[in-house]
Structure 1
Amino acid sequence: MHVIQAEVAQTPEQQAAGMMFRREMGPNEGMLFFNREPGVRCFWMRNTLLPLSIAFIADDGTVVNTAEMQPQSDESHCSARAVRFALEMRQGWFSKHGIGAGFKLRGAPFGN
């Protein structure tokens, strides 16, 4: 079991800022992006100084897809289908913990 300490970004302002300008984060810290309606979600790394990994997550906690993101890049990383959740962690966190497409996360906010 891995306990993630995630900040929640749900307002447009929180989501626009994301992890920008941060210089450090703990090994199990991240940011959970929550949207009221499902949609294809795309992220970039402009003004983000840390390399991050992202998981796009279905309502039931199933990981739809993941991506590795490079600092200060405008390359877009999108969900493979409509989702309401995305979780950013330190780069390599998901692969290090064997978490990829089809893996099911448990706990709030996934109702299990």
Structure 2
Amino acid sequence: MGMWPERATYGPAFMLSVVTVVASASGLKADTASTCRIDRVDLRGDWGVASFSVELADTEQERALGLMFRESMPRSAGMLFVYDRPTTAAFWMKNTYIPLDIIFTDETGMVTSVHSDAKPLDLTPIPGGDRVFAVLEINAGLARDYGISAGTQLRHEIFSSNQPVWPC
């Protein structure tokens, strides 16, 4: 194993891309006018901009399976869990072998909380709050490395009908 699973095994198509981080201190300009893609999520804050290729989990079955049973995930990858409407959400790491950062957002794409370094196989619930609309899971440590925290903005087409804080 050790490889990212195929579509037929775990859900939507997944495309790899390089994580692009444009730190404010670097002097580089981010392309904030680019269009949204279903397989990518962009994040921005006063720390800069980052993009991750994402696999979308937008059905009950896909959300329940999540990243379970996977032994690795590329650094530039993640999974975006989407609910039909804001809900109370809590995650756990049952059958999840990859340490993760779990990023909870509201329906506008604003990060409301971040749980860093969720431990593999831990059954302790990780609460995200009462108005969770989407959750981004990325490799553990990346939220800290990039500066992702409450107040960070996410851009993805799932937020388009909810007065997004960062429109497509």
- Interval containing the TM-score (normalised by the shorter chain): over 0.9
TM-score relative to the length of structure 2: 0.64
CA RMSD after TM alignment: 1.1
CA distance in 1, matches of 2:75, 2:158: 21
Task: Pick from 41, 55, 61 the counterpart of residue 13 of structure 1.
Answer: 61
Structure 2: runs of 5 or more not aligned = 1-48, 161-166
CA distance in 1, matches of 2:109, 2:60: 22
Task: Pick from 129, 134, 142 the counterpart of residue 93 of structure 1.
Answer: 142
- With a CA cutoff of 8 Å and minimum separation of 6, indicate the structure with the bigger relative contact order: 1
1:45 matches 2:93? yes
Structure 1: runs of 5 or more not aligned = none
TM-score relative to the length of structure 1: 0.93
Aligned length: 112
Which one-letter code corresponds to 2:112 in the other structure?
Answer: V
Deviation at residue 107 of structure 1 after TM alignment: 3.7
Deviation at residue 44 of structure 1 after TM alignment: 0.2
CA distance in 1, matches of 2:67, 2:143: 17
Deviation at residue 104 of structure 1 after TM alignment: 1.2
Contact 2:88 2:131 in 1 (8 A): yes
Runs of 4+ in 1 over 4 A off after TM superposition: none
Percent identity reads 33
